[in-house]
């Protein structure tokens, strides 16, 4: 699968290696997803939390875990609600599949992860109504 083309939600290679990467990440979140913010533990950024409103008028609290970020794909989980087992593109560890691990690139941002999460939630809502996951899908 080709890389994701979303220039507003990615960084240049130089930006992805810059010492102010977290500032750039926060600015993209603030501009595109103001309901999300980075969270830190003991001065180290460990994740992002926020809400996503869907086309059906529902609001979902989500948490993005940034373990080994940006070298590994973040893990996205529901925050304070439960995704039913049997939901497509949902892992047994409680995380959702927004992309395969081999598709992750260091130039991708937390804002891109939020965008992919919003797409997943839109498909999830259609699945709840029709019991059909829209789109082609990929194997995990």
Q: pLDDT for 61-110, tens place per residue?
A: 999 999 999 999 999 999 999 999 889 999 888 999 999 999 999 999 99
10 located within any domain: no
8 located within any domain: no
CA 77 to CA 64: how far, in whole Å?
A: 6
12 located within any domain: no
Domain around 91: 18-130
pLDDT tens digit sequence for 9-60? 999 999 999 999 999 999 999 999 999 999 999 999 999 999 999 999 999 9
The partner residues of 50 in beta bridges, in order of sequence, read 36, 62
139 located within any domain: no
4 located within any domain: no
5 located within any domain: no
Number of independent structural domains in the chain: 1
1 located within any domain: no
CA 95 to CA 97: how far, in whole Å?
A: 7
Which pTM value belongs to this model?
Answer: 0.93
For residue 90, the domain's CATH number is 3.10.110.10
136 located within any domain: no
Task: Return the closest-CA partner of residue 97 out of 70, 82, 121, 76.
Answer: 76
For 33-77, give the DSSP string.
-TTEEEEEETTEEEEEEEEEE-TTS-EEEEEEE-TTTTTS--EEE
């Amino acid at each position: 699968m080709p890389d994701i083309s979303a220039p507003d939600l990615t960084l240049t290679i130089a930006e992805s290696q810059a010492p102010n990467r977290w500032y750039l990440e926060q600015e993209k979140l603030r501009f595109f997803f103001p309901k999300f913010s980075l969270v830190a533990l003991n001065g180290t950024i460990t994740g992002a939390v926020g809400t996503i409103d869907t086309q059906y008028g529902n609001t979902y609290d989500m948490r993005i875990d940034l373990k080994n970020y940006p070298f590994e794909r973040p893990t996205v989980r529901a925050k304070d609600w439960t995704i039913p087992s049997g939901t497509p593109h949902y892992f047994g560890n409680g995380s959702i599949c927004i992309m395969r691990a081999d598709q992750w690139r260091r130039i991708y941002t937390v804002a891109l992860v939020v965008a992919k999460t919003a797409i997943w939630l839109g498909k999830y809502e259609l699945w709840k109504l029709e019991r059909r996951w829209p789109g082609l899908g990929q194997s995990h």
